[in-house]
Structure 1
Amino acid sequence: MTEGEKTRLIAWSNEMRNVHERLRKALRVTQEAIAAGDPAEPAARATCCCSATGSVLP
């Protein structure tokens, strides 16, 4: 594995950890809203940009 491949792998791992944390937070907020009986709001799609690769996902 080259140094560049290692760097990309580390960046990808960090990005996935960040995404996973945001998903856990969103789930927690949703579960709290449901438990409180708050009305549901429509989900919005956010644009995600991977800082490691510069790619943008819809």
Structure 2
Amino acid sequence: METAKVNNLKPYDYLEYAFEMTRQGNDVTDYLPYSKNVPQNLKMEATKDEESHSQY
């Protein structure tokens, strides 16, 4: 769960996604929290402070 948080993912939603991918027999490396294959809808929304820093 901590890795999901560090990678800006919604922890509960990510865990649900990971369990479903495992159930379907997908390769674990395809859905690790830092994988580029993780759907965008699992990302936490940026706060105003984070948005202002991302412009630099």
Normalised to the residue count of structure 2, the TM-score between the two structures is: 0.37
Q: Which has the higher strand share?
A: 1
Larger RCO of the pair (alpha carbons < 8 Å, separation 6+): 2
Normalised to the residue count of structure 1, the TM-score between the two structures is: 0.36
Larger Rg: 1
Q: Which has the higher helix share?
A: 1
